Chains A and B, each alone.
Chain A
Amino acid sequence: MSDNTNVMIAGVGGQGTVLASKILGLAAMKAGMDVKQSEIHGMSQRGGSVVTHVRFGDKVHSPLVTKGSADVIMAFEELEGLRYLPYLKKTGLIIMNKQQMLPMPVIMGAAQYPVAPVEEIANLEAKEIAVDASGTGLALGDARTANVVLLGVLAAALPFPDEVWHESLRESLKPGLVEVNMKAFRAGQEAAMAM
């Protein structure tokens, strides 16, 4: 695989991963790169495990990231972070949202939710940034901005100028939601700096 940057966004259907990958793809485009990204539709959106791939660089052919080659994994949920771990590069970065959502087999008592995913990943050589994005979003007045908080964390790890991100946010969000999401984005950036 070439020198492209590979990002994966994992979560639970309905958590806003699709919007996050849209904004990221747009930002990469505005930063002058070739971009390919996958989307999700249909069945898995109903509360299932979902993942989108975003790849950018000089020339991208495949829209999909292969195992062991993700530079960054953004996990909107802890179990989903563990699930996609095999895609992470040895020296990659994983951004973990500190949130646990029980899947149906766990609710039904047929399976166990994994123990302390954030700690398990902290013991690896890869870098981890764990944030309570929903909490941060809630403090800003809208828990649904959690996805943009996480994008702010991601932005700190990518070489795109701020304007590029701001433009992408403005173009992707309903006008009424821009302001609170701009704050959420900044909060994410600050959280990353603090690490």
Chain B
Amino acid sequence: MTKYELLSGNEAIARGVYEAGVKVAAAYPGTPSTEILENVARYDRILSQWAPNEKVALEVAAGASIAGAKAFAAMKHVGLNVAADPLMTFSYTGVNGGMVLVSADDPAMHSSQNEQDNRYYGLIAKLPVLEPADSGEAKDFTLKAYEISEVFDTPVILRTTTRVNHSKSFVAINEPAEITVKDYKKDPGKYVMTPANAVGRHKAVEERRLALTEYAGQTELNRVEAGSGDFGDIGFITAGISYQYLKEIMPDASYLKLGLLWPLNENMILDFAAGVKQVIVVEELEPVLETQIRAMGVSCRGKDIIPRQGELSEETLRRALAGAGLPVWVTPEPAYVSEQKLPVRPPILCPGCSHRGMFYTLNAMELCVSGDIGCYALGSAAPFESIDTTICMGASVGGAFGMELARGDGFAEGCVAVIGDSTFFHSGITGLMDIVYNKGRSTVIVLDNSTTAMTGHQDNPGTGKDIKGEPAPLIDIEMLGASLGIRRVRTVDPFDLKACREALEEELAAPEVSLIVARRACALYSKLRDPACRVEEGDCVGCKACLKLGCPALSVSDGKAKVDALMCVGCGLCTQVCPKHAIRKAGGSHE
């Protein structure tokens, strides 16, 4: 009897990678994809690694595949932008050992800066795109993707969305295939993409597209579920999580449930459309399927009724379908709504967070902050409100230099780039080279908490450990800065507010590039726990100066500050900001 386990989509993909016989796997962490590689790394026989960024991860996987091993890479949607360069040409070379790439998209931006639809990458790179609708499919499709990869000589994109990555359902557990490595033969015509060779490979890509199109008409990845009763005439063409919502709403309608989203098989679509009275294409985000289906001459509904922005849900779809005249029961108004106005609860920096001291100082000094991606993006929220820009991984460094060029020295004296350690290794280093090489004077702060915190504490080239927790060479940020020719490199303790301010004042005034490394381990990860601070009530005047730290352990009620002793980890920042020295470290001293 097959054994089943309740797994998340990410755990299921990892299981699929294991069962497929993958030998090499690489990723850069990013929600909602992170747990895939974390789980892959638990299988000892797979050589797993956190790469410094997605481009490197994909290049490692491409190399492993060309050398004959089955290979895997995972990233979030915006990570694929970073890896797009190797992707486009890896499509031309094709594979030797099978290669699958996960693109985990984040509609509704639960933990992202945009909600781009990466199914388009399949169309641009001419790579097959598979999309599972639950964990069971996530594992099955991963195995299928490796099959397609080797049969059609192509990398395969397995596209997921947050609701599939982060939902659990049943997964069949099977025996893993053996790891085999195919022969490697030098083959420049296939693997050296000089113009002359690439012309030939482009031809192969177009032939592959035709072969895959034919395959799309036969594969069980795409299935028709014939409807019955009154609604059998309504035909939904859908995929992924949207399929699940629709099945809750109209279980008896007809479905063309797509698992292979590109390329589409025209005959399959036309046949399905001919068998129903009305075709409705239901997909999250962009009309990727709909545009292609309309081009086949099928008249259908789609983005005229289905929202294009954010996630779909059972409720949104019920409303959309009812609005379009379908006999769908619309979710009634909720039975209960609180009569009170409820405050929001945004995420916050943890008690003892090593970023707090620096953001407090940046805010106090009223600096312009070119920001980046990570926990420290929370520095844009109250009470710090200190970040001016957040665009993408690494953008803080180049961005600050651009601001300096646009507005001159006077502006640069009040402007910093702020970037985390993992993000710096990901794509901050090249920006720093640019400032040095083009004689800029920007001040760059690396907030080094020695982990990739936001995604759940993954190791990186600066932590001294690899993905398995084994010791690894540690890349020294200060030495790296010095080797780029930066003369002003300094390290500060972000728990020392005076030192932070001094460092900033001096480096901003210096008419050359400076690198400040603010180093303290992430509070959550290091489990920092000193005895809680306490408030000397007699000395507290209720001025609320301490609240500017935005520490969740601090509050002021009835005119007196309070420290929540369960939450406080004794970082001591509040003892430094209280003008009355009313907050004391355990033991009684002022600091």
Across the interface, B169 reaches (CB within 8 A) one of A12, A35, A89, A125, namely A35
Given contacts A13-B347, A25-B6, A47-B348, contact A124 B248 (CB under 8 A): no
Confirm or deny: B407 has a beta carbon within 8 angstroms of a beta carbon on chain A.
no
A-B contact count (CB 8 A): 181
Write out the residue numbers on chain A whose beta carbons fall within 8 Å of the beta carbon of B111: 41-44
Across the interface, A104 reaches (CB within 8 A) one of B35, B454, B550, namely B550
Are B383 and A108 in contact, with the CB atoms below 8 A? Answer: yes
Confirm or deny: A102 has a beta carbon within 8 angstroms of a beta carbon on chain B.
yes
Are B167 and A39 in contact, with the CB atoms below 8 A? Answer: yes
Confirm or deny: A141 has a beta carbon within 8 angstroms of a beta carbon on chain B.
no
Confirm or deny: A1 has a beta carbon within 8 angstroms of a beta carbon on chain B.
yes
Write out the residue numbers on chain B whose beta carbons fall within 8 Å of the beta carbon of A113: 343
Residue on A nearest B381 in the bound complex, by CB: A104
Confirm or deny: B587 has a beta carbon within 8 angstroms of a beta carbon on chain A.
no
Confirm or deny: A68 has a beta carbon within 8 angstroms of a beta carbon on chain B.
yes
Residue on B nearest A49 in the bound complex, by CB: B345
Given contacts A41-B32, A41-B111, contact A46 B248 (CB under 8 A): no
Are A112 and B343 in contact, with the CB atoms below 8 A? Answer: yes
- For the complex, what is the distance from the CA of A67 to the CA of B166, rounded to whole Å? 20
- For the complex, what is the distance from the CA of A107 to the CA of B562, rounded to whole Å? 11
Q: Which of A29, A38, A43, A124 has the most CB of B within 10 A?
A: A43
- For the complex, what is the distance from the CA of A102 to the CA of B555, rounded to whole Å? 9
Confirm or deny: A135 has a beta carbon within 8 angstroms of a beta carbon on chain B.
no
Interface residues of B in 521-573 (CB under 8 A from A): 544, 547, 550, 552, 554-555, 566
Are A1 and B248 in contact, with the CB atoms below 8 A? Answer: yes
Q: Give per-residue flags for A55-91: 1 if the beta carbon is below 8 A from chain B beta carbons, else 0.
A: 0000011111011110000000001101101111110
Across the interface, B347 reaches (CB within 8 A) one of A39, A46, A60, A89, namely A46
Interface residues of B in 1-60 (CB under 8 A from A): 6, 8, 31-32, 34-35
Are A35 and B382 in contact, with the CB atoms below 8 A? Answer: no
Given contacts A1-B248, A67-B331, contact A115 B340 (CB under 8 A): yes
Are B550 and A47 in contact, with the CB atoms below 8 A? Answer: no
Q: Give per-residue flags for B338-353: 1 if the beta carbon is below 8 A from chain A beta carbons, else 0.
A: 1111111111111000
Across the interface, B167 reaches (CB within 8 A) one of A36, A67, A120, A143, namely A36
Confirm or deny: A111 has a beta carbon within 8 angstroms of a beta carbon on chain B.
yes
User: In the complex, how many angstroms separate the beta carbon of A88 from the nearest chain B beta carbon?
Assistant: 6
Are A49 and B344 in contact, with the CB atoms below 8 A? Answer: yes
Are B314 and A42 in contact, with the CB atoms below 8 A? Answer: no
- For the complex, what is the distance from the CA of A114 to the CA of B342, rounded to whole Å? 6
Write out the residue numbers on chain A whose beta carbons fall within 8 Å of the beta carbon of B345: 12, 47-49, 79-80, 103-104
Are B163 and A42 in contact, with the CB atoms below 8 A? Answer: no
- For the complex, what is the distance from the CA of A61 to the CA of B346, rounded to whole Å? 30
Across the interface, A61 reaches (CB within 8 A) one of B244, B336, B349, namely B244
Confirm or deny: A159 has a beta carbon within 8 angstroms of a beta carbon on chain B.
no
Confirm or deny: B134 has a beta carbon within 8 angstroms of a beta carbon on chain A.
yes
Write out the residue numbers on chain A whose beta carbons fall within 8 Å of the beta carbon of B491: none
Interface residues of B in 243-298 (CB under 8 A from A): 243-245, 247-248
Are B349 and A62 in contact, with the CB atoms below 8 A? Answer: no
- For the complex, what is the distance from the CA of A14 to the CA of B550, rounded to whole Å? 17
Write out the residue numbers on chain B whose beta carbons fall within 8 Å of the beta carbon of A82: 338, 340, 342
Across the interface, B6 reaches (CB within 8 A) one of A26, A41, A108, A112, namely A26
Write out the residue numbers on chain A whose beta carbons fall within 8 Å of the beta carbon of B6: 25-26, 29, 35, 37
Q: Give per-residue flags for B149-166: 1 if the beta carbon is below 8 A from chain A beta carbons, else 0.
A: 000000000000001001
Residue on B nearest A86 in the bound complex, by CB: B334
- For the complex, what is the distance from the CA of A29 to the CA of B170, rounded to whole Å? 9
Confirm or deny: A34 has a beta carbon within 8 angstroms of a beta carbon on chain B.
yes
Residue on A nearest B133 in the bound complex, by CB: A61
- For the complex, what is the distance from the CA of A124 to the CA of B168, rounded to whole Å? 33
Write out the residue numbers on chain B whose beta carbons fall within 8 Å of the beta carbon of A26: 6
- For the complex, what is the distance from the CA of A124 to the CA of B342, rounded to whole Å? 18
- For the complex, what is the distance from the CA of A39 to the CA of B170, rounded to whole Å? 15
Are B555 and A107 in contact, with the CB atoms below 8 A? Answer: yes
Are B454 and A43 in contact, with the CB atoms below 8 A? Answer: yes
Are A104 and B348 in contact, with the CB atoms below 8 A? Answer: yes
Write out the residue numbers on chain A whose beta carbons fall within 8 Å of the beta carbon of B341: 111-112, 114
Confirm or deny: A157 has a beta carbon within 8 angstroms of a beta carbon on chain B.
no
Are A103 and B343 in contact, with the CB atoms below 8 A? Answer: yes
Write out the residue numbers on chain B whose beta carbons fall within 8 Å of the beta carbon of A79: 342-343, 345
Across the interface, A68 reaches (CB within 8 A) one of B34, B331, B343, B544, namely B331
Interface residues of A in 83-133 (CB under 8 A from B): 83, 85-90, 102-115, 117, 120, 124-126
Residue on B nearest A103 in the bound complex, by CB: B345
Write out the residue numbers on chain A whose beta carbons fall within 8 Å of the beta carbon of B382: 104-105, 108, 110
Confirm or deny: B315 has a beta carbon within 8 angstroms of a beta carbon on chain A.
yes
Are A42 and B338 in contact, with the CB atoms below 8 A? Answer: no
Are B248 and A42 in contact, with the CB atoms below 8 A? Answer: no
Residue on A nearest B329 in the bound complex, by CB: A1
Write out the residue numbers on chain B whose beta carbons fall within 8 Å of the beta carbon of A67: 315, 331, 334
Across the interface, A46 reaches (CB within 8 A) one of B313, B332, B350, namely B350
Given contacts A13-B347, A61-B244, A79-B343, contact A86 B336 (CB under 8 A): yes
- For the complex, what is the distance from the CA of A124 to the CA of B169, rounded to whole Å? 34
Confirm or deny: A173 has a beta carbon within 8 angstroms of a beta carbon on chain B.
no
Write out the residue numbers on chain A whose beta carbons fall within 8 Å of the beta carbon of B554: 107
Confirm or deny: A40 has a beta carbon within 8 angstroms of a beta carbon on chain B.
yes
Given contacts A46-B378, A48-B347, contact A64 B314 (CB under 8 A): yes
Across the interface, B334 reaches (CB within 8 A) one of A13, A39, A87, A120, namely A87
Write out the residue numbers on chain A whose beta carbons fall within 8 Å of the beta carbon of B340: 82, 114-115, 120
Can you show 19 pairs from A to B with CB atoms below 8 A apart?
A: A37-B167, A42-B111, A45-B347, A46-B375, A48-B345, A48-B347, A61-B247, A63-B244, A79-B343, A82-B338, A83-B342, A86-B336, A103-B344, A104-B552, A105-B344, A108-B382, A109-B544, A115-B340, A126-B336
Interface set of B (CB-CB < 8 Å, partner A): 6, 8, 31-32, 34-35, 110-111, 134, 163, 166-170, 243-245, 247-248, 313-315, 331-350, 375, 378, 381-383, 454-456, 544, 547, 550, 552, 554-555, 566
5 residue pairs, one from A and one from B, having the closest CB atoms? A42-B111, A42-B31, A48-B347, A86-B334, A111-B343
Q: Apart from A82-B342, A107-B554, what 15 extra A-B contacts exist at CB < 8 Å?
A: A25-B168, A37-B167, A38-B168, A46-B350, A48-B347, A63-B163, A63-B169, A67-B334, A83-B338, A87-B334, A88-B334, A88-B336, A90-B336, A103-B343, A111-B344
